[in-house]
Amino acid sequence: MDKKIVVLAGDGIGPEITSATVVTLNAVAQKFGHNFEYDYRYMGGSAIDKFGVPLPEETVQACLASDGVLLGAVGGPKWDAQPAENRPEKGLLGIRAALGLYANLRPAVIYSELADASPLKPSVLAKGVNVMVVRELIGGIYFGPRKELDDGKTAYDTEIYSEEEVRRIAKVAFDLAMTRNKKVTSVDKANVLLSSRLWRRIVIEVSKDYPEVELNHMYVDNAAMQLVKDPSQFDVLLCPNMFGDILSDEASQITGSIGLLPSSSLGTCKAGLFEPIHGSAPDIAGQDIANPIATVLAGAMMLDNMDLHEEARAVEKAVEKVIALGYRTPDMGEGKRVGCAEMGRLIAENI
């Protein structure tokens, strides 16, 4: 099959981890007889350097016309002085909105070989951790009305949700729960926020179509606590945009596998955007020591979204094999030490 993939390498370690991933995708193409065409575009800090803006219109058009978008990471201290409206992060928020990517799926799982890297006690981890954070991605306080008042001393952002925005993300969460452990925990702050009361009302409404799925509601402060106290209680964690941003970082960190976790953003556009959960790690950029596995697994999620399921499983298996063989980038602890490019080659070899 012919597939057109836009690669947004981005900043920091982005170019290294995406190029290692392209090596593995090429191995998939060769093995399964596909033709993947890569279209490299700019977004984030690199786009500011080249075009003066974090999200050039030609990047948006290329993504809209593609079958999938592979993203490394964006941002870094180099662009800290940019005005708020022109920061690298604006590129990421802009592409999410432009592609209508309202559903962000962030799995947090523990790889048993790497359980030592978790900051939680073995007794807490004993029951396993397999949480899927389903984060609403193009609504809420990230996109609500905002303003800096003329006095320069006051500013506001607005948490705002419509019934429809809640309904479509709730459906994604319940559909996913049906393929997993049939449990949804919906996160809100309904004891304080009106938008959360609406969120809860619509989530309950949607749940009626999924009688097999157990639904719980949890205030976000309690959810943050429960995640470190007993992460095994969670299956699908359904969150508004900002709560999901915060809790997904927490969830990924407790697995100790931050260099291994991919995420996907799906919505109204056929393409979808696939990226590692971690950031651009400017402190280790250009040293060939970053871990490409999260991005490689994001590539597998992209293959799934292209209906290339056997191919996606082949990538996952190759990653498991390489981990089992003991190959480790520095973040993964003791083992046969390899760099970013070498890790990509090893995974490709095992496909």
- Site residues (CB under 6 A) for ligand IPM? 89, 92-93, 245
CB of 29 to ligand IPM, least distance (A): 28
Q: Which of 157, 249, 288, 317 is catalytic?
A: 249
Nearer to ligand IPM, 89 or 288 (CB): 89
In whole angstroms, what is the distance from residue 171 CA to residue 103 CA? Answer: 10
Can 245 be counted among the known catalytic residues?
yes
Chain center to CA of 277: 5
Q: How far is CA 66 from CA 62, 295, 350, in A?
A: 6, 18, 27
- The CB-of-249 to Mg ion minimum distance in angstroms stands at 5
Tell me how far, at minimum, the Cβ of 100 lies from ligand IPM, in Å.
16
- Is residue 156 among the annotated active site residues? no
Q: Are 108 and 120 a contacting pair, CB within 8 Å?
A: no
| Triad 266, 269, 272: Cα angle to 5° | 40
16 vs 245, beta carbon nearer ligand IPM: 245
DSSP assignments along 142-160, one per residue: GTS-EEE-TTSS-EEE---
Closest to ligand IPM by CB, 81 vs 126, is 81
Q: Is 249 a catalytic residue?
A: yes
Whole-number Å distance between alpha carbons of 300 and 316: 7
**Closest alpha carbon to 276 in 4, 18, 12, 5:** 18
The one catalytic residue among 49, 116, 209, 221: 221
Query: Minimum CB separation from ligand IPM for residue 249, in Å?
Result: 7
Which of the listed partners (ligand IPM, Mg ion, none) does 92 bind, with a CB threshold of 5 to 8 Å by partner kind? ligand IPM
Beta-carbon count within 10 A of 60 CB = 18
> Total binding residues for Mg ion by CB under 5 A?
1
Cα separation, 91 vs 53, whole angstroms: 8
Among ligand IPM, Mg ion, none, residue 22 binds (CB under 5-8 Å by kind): none
Q: How far is the CB of 92 from ligand IPM (least distance, A)?
A: 5
| Whether 308 contacts 257, CB under 8 Å | no
Whose Cβ is closer to ligand IPM: residue 53's or residue 93's?
Answer: 93
- Tokens 């290294």 sit at which residue? 16
Residue in 42, 102, 142, 161 annotated catalytic:
142
Nearer to ligand IPM, 142 or 174 (CB): 142
Q: Which of 245, 304, 327, 331 is catalytic?
A: 245
Q: Contact between 136 and Mg ion (CB under 5 A)?
A: no
Burial of 80 (0-12, 13-18, 19+ CB in 10 A): exposed
CB of 319 to Mg ion, least distance (A): 23
- Report the distance separating Cα 186 and Cα 26, nearest Å: 39
The nearest distance, CB 304 to ligand IPM, in angstroms, is 20
- Look at the alpha carbons of 53, 54, 55, 58 in this order and tell me if their dihedral is positive or negative: positive
Alpha-carbon torsion (50, 55, 57, 62), positive or negative: positive
CB-based closest residue to ligand IPM = 89
Query: Is residue 42 annotated as a catalytic residue, yes or no?
Result: no
Q: Which of residues 189-248 bind Mg ion (CB under 5 A)?
A: 245
Instruction: Answer for the pair 47, 56: CB distance below 8 angstroms, yes or no.
Output: yes
CA dihedral 142, 146, 148, 153 (to 10 degrees): -80
Beta carbon nearer to ligand IPM, 39 or 89? 89
Out of 189, 210, 235, 331, the active site residue is 189
Question: Is 151 labeled as catalytic in the residue annotation?
Answer: no
284 touches, from Mg ion, ligand IPM, none (C-beta below 5 to 8 Å by class): none
Binding partner of residue 89 among ligand IPM, Mg ion, none, CB under 5 to 8 Å per kind?
Answer: ligand IPM
Mark residues 245-284: x for contact with Mg ion by CB under 5 A, - for none.
x---------------------------------------
Amino acid, res. 62: A
Token reading at 276: 């590692």
Which residue ranges make up the site for Mg ion (CB under 5 A)?
A: 245
Catalytic residue numbers, as ranges: 142, 189, 221, 245, 249
